[in-house]
Amino acid sequence: MFYKNILFFLLIMLFSCTSYETNKEKKFYTKKPKFSTEGFTIIYKETLFDKKIVNNKLDNRSLLIFQKNLKKGTTVKITNLINSKSIVAKVSKKTKYPSFFNSVVSPRIAIELEIDPSEPYIEIREIPKNSMFVAGKSKTFEEEKTVADSVPVDDIKIKDLSKKKDIKKKEKAKKEFNYIIKIADFYYESSANNMLDRIKKETSIKKPKITMISNTEYRVFLGPFKNLSTLKEDFNAISTLQFDNIEIIKK
């Protein structure tokens, strides 16, 4: 009987250890979700630093960006959501910039992606270190950086403008600037109306709106906005309420 009890005890310990190792293994292989964000960027220029809008300088010829949520050295894919052009770049040092924007990009990135300063709407997507895509692109990044260091930004701009003239003849007319600020989605219309009242009472915004997305979903939003300055003005006004997950959506 004594030996049976010992055997039983050893079996319990064995299964407990196995379970523990399995849990450890699952935890080890859990992948952290990739970071991605859509929004408006700032195209860097020296006056931004001089006026203390940003607190670090960015090399005009580099393939570098400032992004608050990512560590220095993180590799990212940047896509111009207006024309779908993309490029691989890296995150530079931690830097302060206005909360309305999702990043600051170098002039070279803006040129490569043909970002329109009046509508600099981009997506930033983190690329994992173990990605084969990164391995190939990282080499290109280093080679391009070497070339860029020897080419003045003004020369790049001149070449870019000459290309744009040919491209514009073939492209269709650009869609107009048209965005909304999504505040939140609600299950009940009464909850959405309560949110409208709060916005009117606690901010300078007087015309928040509700749209019915489905029978059980009501969206509170601002807009539509036809230019960047009015969009930024209302975004800053609503930010004082510190709502989570405010989104800027292209119509």
pTM for the whole structure: 0.67
- The CATH number of the domain covering residues in 179-250: 3.30.70.1070
- The token pair that represents 9 in the structure block: 């005890």
Q: Is the pLDDT of residue 46 over 50?
A: yes
At residue 206, the pLDDT reads 87
At residue 246, the pLDDT reads 86
**Mean pLDDT value across residues 43-65:** 95
Q: 172 forms bridges with which residues in the sheet?
A: none
At residue 190, the pLDDT reads 95
At residue 129, the pLDDT reads 79
Residue 247 CA, chain-centre distance (Å), reads: 11
CB 103 within 8 A of CB 41: yes
SS3 at position 126: strand
CB 250 within 8 A of CB 40: no
Q: Is the pLDDT of residue 151 over 50?
A: no
SS3 at position 76: strand
Residue extent(s) of CATH 3.30.70.1070 domains in the chain: 179-250
Residue 233 CA, chain-centre distance (Å), reads: 20
Let me know how long the chain is.
Answer: 251
Fold of 36-170: Barwin-like endoglucanases (2.40.40)
Read off the pLDDT of residues 157-199 as tens digits, 9 standing for 90 and up.
434 544 555 555 445 456 789 999 999 999 999 999 999 999 9
**Mean pLDDT value across residues 30-44:** 81
User: Nearest-CA neighbor of 227 among 176, 183, 181, 182?
Assistant: 176
Q: 64 forms bridges with which residues in the sheet?
A: 90
What is the β-pairing status of strands 179-186 and 64-66?
unpaired
Read off the pLDDT of residues 216-243 as tens digits, 9 standing for 90 and up.
999 999 999 999 999 999 999 998 888 8
- The Cα 115–Cα 96 span in angstroms is 22
DSSP state of 177: P
Residue extent(s) of CATH 2.40.40.10 domains in the chain: 36-170
Read off the pLDDT of residues 74-124 as tens digits, 9 standing for 90 and up.
999 999 999 999 999 999 999 999 989 999 999 999 999 999 999 999 999
At residue 108, the pLDDT reads 97
